Structure 1
C-alpha cells in the first residue's frame, strides 16, 4: 500500500516526465531561433542572456500547472494557492535579481559578471529554496519538493 507521499510523488513524476518531453522540444525551438541571430540583432547581449531564465520558466509552466491540479486533490485550495503564490514570488525574486545583476555588470568582463552572479544568486537561491520548503512543509506533512520529483525521474530512467 502506498503512502500519500508516495502516491503524490508518483503523480508528480508522471507530470514531470510529460513536461520534460515538451521542454526538450522547446529548447530546440529556442536554440533554432537564437542561431540566426533573431534576438542578437535587436538586443544587447546582456539582455539576451537575461531572457534565458524566462525561457526556462515558460517551459516549466506546464509542469507547475499540472502540479497545482495534482495538489488540489490532496490539499485545501488555500494551501495550494499559498504554495503556488510562494513559488511564483520566489521565481520573480530570483529572476529579477538575475536581471539586475546582469544589467549592473554588463560592462565588466565575463568572469567578473559570472563572479557577481554566483555571489548574489547562489545564496539567494538557497535561502528562497529553504523558505519555500519550510513554509510548504508546515501545512503539508506529505510535501514533495521538485528536487525529489527530479531525483525520482532520474532513478526511473536508470
Structure 2
C-alpha cells in the first residue's frame, strides 16, 4: 500500500509540475503577443492546441495500454504510419477518429524546431483528423473541431 501511495504522490507531483510549466508558458507567450493578438484569438489558439495535445495523448495511451500487455516496451508514437494503418479502422470505430503516429502532438512538437512549414504541417494534421471521421457516426462531432485555429494568421 505504501508503494501505491508513493507512486500516486509522484504522479500528482509530476502532473502539478507539468501544469505549472504549461501555465508559465501560456503566460510567457501571452505577454509576448500582447497587442498583436486579440485575447479571443489567443484563447482559440491555446484551446485548439491543448485539445490537439489531449486527443493525441489519448490516442497514444489507448494503443499503448492495449499493446503493452503483450510488449511492455511498445510505444505507439514510435511506430511508422504504415505500421499503424493496421489499427486505423478499429480505432475509428472505437474513438471516432484516427491520428497516425507521425501526426501525434509529441512528434509534431519534436519536429517543430526544424519545420519551416509548421503551420502547413499542423493544418494537414487537423484536416486528416477530420477526414478520418468521414462517413462515420462521429463525423458531425469531429467536423470543424479546428476551424477556429487559423495556423496561417500573420498575427502569430
Q: TM-score, normalised by structure 1?
A: 0.44
Higher relative contact order at CA 8 Å, sep ≥6: structure 1 or structure 2?
1
Larger helix share, 1 or 2: 1
